[in-house]
Amino acid sequence: MSERKAIGIDLGTTFSAGAHIDAYGKPQIIPNAESERITPSVILFDGESAIVGTLAKNNSVSEPEKIVDFVKREMGKPKEQFHREFGGKLYSAEELSALIVKKLKADAEKYLQAPVTDAVITVPAYFNDAERTATITAGQLAGLNVLQIINEPTAAALAYGLDKLDENQTVFVFDLGGGTFDVTIMRIEDQKIEMIATNGDHRLGGKDWDDVIVNLVAEEYSAAHGENPLLDLASYQDLQTRALAGKIQLSSRPHTAIVHHHNGKSVKVELTREDFEERSRHLIEKCKTICEIVMQEAKMKWDNIDKILLIGGMTRMPMVREMISQLSSAPLVSDMNPDEAVAVGAAIQATLSMLREEEKTGKKLLGENTRQQFSSRDGHLIQITDITSHTLGVVLWDETHLEEYVFPMIRKRTAIPASAKNSFGIASANMQRAVVKVVEGESTLPGECTPLGLCDVQLPPFLPKGSPVELTYHYNANQVLEVNVEACGNRSKVSIERNTGLAPEEMEKAISGLGKVTVE
């Protein structure tokens, strides 16, 4: 057997986790070096070393200037737009995430007593091309072969569905985490798992509920002492921690008290669950709207849903459960550990990827137990169909209205991997180059879509107006796009110039730069 070992990684906004498939073919969470099953996604820079996890999190109040957290929210941004500086070096979002992955990899190696070579990393279904590419880069920078990027709800659904393949059912996966919200509708039928629709908001999560409490306490403090406690970073972070603890307490108790000390003065705010729910009504309404949209997209009624699968720490909150129960009478399933399901699903996908590779190459990578666990009744590997989260289009020129518009090449909710080919006429005679603008989004107005990049192709001379340019979009299993342009018989393969991401030479530099940082 080969020396390769694959793990699944849930690279979360607040916490991350790793999982693997054991020798009996069963998924298991990998505890970190501190013997915890999840690792806070917090980095503390201390000279040449980066401390990741609980120790970093515990120091976030005393040394806020050395701390990085919520880096997932910055993924996909170019370095000029987001970076943090430590020890005279600028770190991009991918590099910071790579440090978290490095910690998970190192701890997994310690626990499994074997080198970890491969991984599947999860992302919110709503992550776009740039955010996905950045996540792949983070894994590679940490020294891993990234087998695949999969959607968090897909991973959670896999963790749930693996041993329920014999029961045909439609499952609504509701995943509200620390910083992101995803909903997915999944169908298990004839031992196949198929994603039907997916939607979400990657700027909606537990932190927004925490902020409701943070702002309330800050207002009361200001009213009592005439000073805004949020202007001081240490005070702000301290209050964030207290607010989060208060929120969690309100999940099991009808009231809580939050005490905040700052500059020798303090304030005590009593908060009932009812009052908290009222103050965060706008947030739960946002979740509800997204649930209704995804049902419309799936062309389903709530009666079609057999089960609601709850993932993400925030689904422990009573107001979240109540809102869902008002929408659907389907039973809520939360027996899966919400903090662990995503990593477990990633480990399952990692194993399936390795087994598929075995099939292709004929080289044995895993044990027979594992193959059996991952095969359906007919002896074939379990089939999972995921779908695109966004429409991918191309910007074209409308001759009649003299304006640009977006032509959809691959529509949202197409099964992936997906390919599409279309031919377009050039806008004027004797054009020297065809510049293809690739965008992502649901609108026909280019300004309302996210630009993904450009493909700039040289055209043969003296082409008449309307000469065909053939575009091929290929959306791979990672939901990362490759575009090919074929202009008038010129079979030139043009890859997309992304607005973000590291070029190969920058990658090497980044890897060697990160190599100097020890991760604890």
Q: Tell me how far, at minimum, the Cβ of 31 lies from ligand AMP, in Å.
A: 16
| Torsion, Cα of 136, 88, 498, 419 (10° steps) | 0
> Taking CB under 6 A as the rule, does residue 192 contact ligand AMP?
no
Q: Tell me how far, at minimum, the Cβ of 248 lies from ligand AMP, in Å.
A: 4
Backbone angles phi, psi at 171, to 5 degrees: -120, 135
Q: Which stretch binds ligand AMP (CB under 6 A): 12-20, 42-50, 123-131, 390-398?
A: 12-20
Among 5, 7, 15, 463, binds ligand AMP (CB under 6 A): 15
Among 7, 13, 151, 371, binds ligand AMP (CB under 6 A): 13
Q: Which stretch binds ligand AMP (CB under 6 A): 24-32, 292-300, 309-317, 430-438?
A: 309-317
What string marks each residue from 154 to 173 as x (binds ligand AMP by CB under 6 A) or -?
Answer: --------------------
Give 16 or 170: the residue with its C-beta nearer to ligand AMP.
16
> Taking CB under 6 A as the rule, does residue 177 contact ligand AMP?
yes
Report DSSP state, residue 274: H
Give 39 or 478: the residue with its C-beta nearer to ligand AMP.
39
With contacts defined by CB under 6 A, how many residues of the chain interact with ligand AMP? Answer: 18
- C-alpha neighbours within 13 Å on the C-beta side of residue 403: 7
Binding residues for ligand AMP restricted to 52-91, rule: CB under 6 A: none
Beta strands in 77-210 (DSSP E): 84-86, 89-91, 118-123, 145-151, 169-176, 181-189, 192-201
Among 18, 229, 246, 313, binds ligand AMP (CB under 6 A): 313
- Chain-centre distance for alpha carbon 409: 24
For residue 473, which amino acid is it?
Answer: Y
Q: Tell me how far, at minimum, the Cβ of 245 lies from ligand AMP, in Å.
A: 9
Residues 407, 411, 413: CA angle, nearest 5 degrees? 165
Contacts of 515 (CB under 8 A, 6+ apart): none
Among 182, 339, 340, 440, binds ligand AMP (CB under 6 A): 339
HEC profile of 89-121 = EEECHHHHHHHHHHHHHHHHHHHHCCCCCEEEE
> Taking CB under 6 A as the rule, does residue 139 contact ligand AMP?
no
Q: Which residue is nearest to ligand AMP (CB)?
A: 206
> Taking CB under 6 A as the rule, does residue 314 contact ligand AMP?
yes
> Taking CB under 6 A as the rule, does residue 244 contact ligand AMP?
yes
| Residue among 14, 19, 43, 16 nearest 30 (CA) | 19
Burial zone of 460 (CB within 10 Å; 0-12 exposed, 13-18 middle, 19+ buried): exposed
Residue 6's beta-bridge partner residues? 118
Give 14 or 237: the residue with its C-beta nearer to ligand AMP.
14
Report how far residue 513's alpha carbon sits from residue 515's, in angstroms, rounded to the nearest whole number.
Answer: 5
> Taking CB under 6 A as the rule, does residue 126 contact ligand AMP?
no
Q: Where does this chain bind ligand AMP (CB under 6 A)?
A: 12-15, 177-178, 206, 244, 247-248, 251, 312-314, 316-317, 338-339
